[in-house]
Amino acid sequence: MTREIPVIYVISDALGETAEFVSRASAAQFSGVRTRIRMVPHVRDEAHIDEILDEAVQDNAILAYTLVLNNLRHYLEVKATEKGLRTVDILGPLMKLLSEETGLEPSNIPNITHRLDETYFRKVEAIEFAVKYDDGKDPRGVLFADVVLIGVSRTSKTPLSMYLAHKGIKAANIPLVPEVAPPQELFEVSPRKVVGLTLRPDHLNEIRTARLRTLGLGASADYASLERIMEELEYARGIMRKVGCPILDATGKAVEETAALILEILYKGERNV
């Protein structure tokens, strides 16, 4: 039987992503409960809070909020108590603890994590780079990349490139196929910024077989055969040895784990230059 819990009002002076994530993660712990979440972003004054609370009373809502301005947090708490509404302050307690630990006062700037700063623009640039130079579409990207990922098909080159891009790292990736010679640019860059990716043959077989099924193709296709996979992996290792780059076995690793190893390799390479 599905039960319905009160509406959760996510109130924020920014987009409310943090409070929404916490609200959904919390509600997901209750099997068979249908959650209703109402987003109320960009709350900047007391008048807006009054409007929200009048509506929240009608829904008997729970208020989950991320407000960095002390006066708005205090006002919301007082008015919500007067109306008998329950509240959850997502940011306040941790900000208070950090202030006590550091001896510093928070800046109390709404939406500070989304400000258009140098880090933000670097991330956007890196994402655009990863899309433009994905899957060897333009080998010239190898010359301008922070890291070049090489490997056979389905070794997570694209997901890793996008993950690294969100860290501000410009990643290009090149597929290694026996029938296609790798671009000359791959041998013109420092091997310190090239990383070879590989998987165990049986694991790669499972991934490719599943991929064929999603495409509505038979699992017996040459693409997923162990014989073909062994041939590709052997060819790829030969190219990696020729380049002189480190080789990572990503079998059983999440994208985040493999990315952390790649960043470690890049960091060590920079220190050894």
Give 10-residue mean pLDDT values along the chain (273 residues). Answer: 74 87 87 84 93 94 93 96 96 91 85 64 91 94 96 96 94 96 96 97 94 78 91 97 97 93 84 49
E-strand ranges in 60-169 read: 62-66, 86-89, 147-151
Read off φ and ψ for residue 248, nearest 5 degrees.
Answer: -110, 130
> At a CB cut-off of 8 Å and minimum separation 6, what does 31 contact?
none
> At a CB cut-off of 8 Å and minimum separation 6, what does 49 contact?
11, 43, 72, 75, 76, 79
**Could you tell me if 127 and 33 lie in one domain?**
no
Total number of domains constituting the chain = 2
Question: What is residue 113's predicted lDDT score, i.e. its pLDDT?
Answer: 62
**Could you tell me if 97 and 134 lie in one domain?**
no
**Could you tell me if 160 and 264 lie in one domain?**
yes
* 3-class SS of residue 233: helix
Give the residue from 80, 114, 148 where a domain finishes: 114
> Annotated binding site for ADP: which residue ranges?
151-158
Give, rounded to a whole angstrom, the gap between the first and last alpha carbons of the chain: 63
Full residue range of the structural domain in which residue 230 is found: 118-272
What CATH number does residue 44 fall under? Answer: 3.40.50
Question: What is residue 273's predicted lDDT score, i.e. its pLDDT?
Answer: 45
**Could you tell me if 132 and 248 lie in one domain?**
yes
> Annotated binding site: which residue ranges?
151-158
How many CB atoms sit inside 10 A of residue 211's CB?
16
**Could you tell me if 183 and 107 lie in one domain?**
no
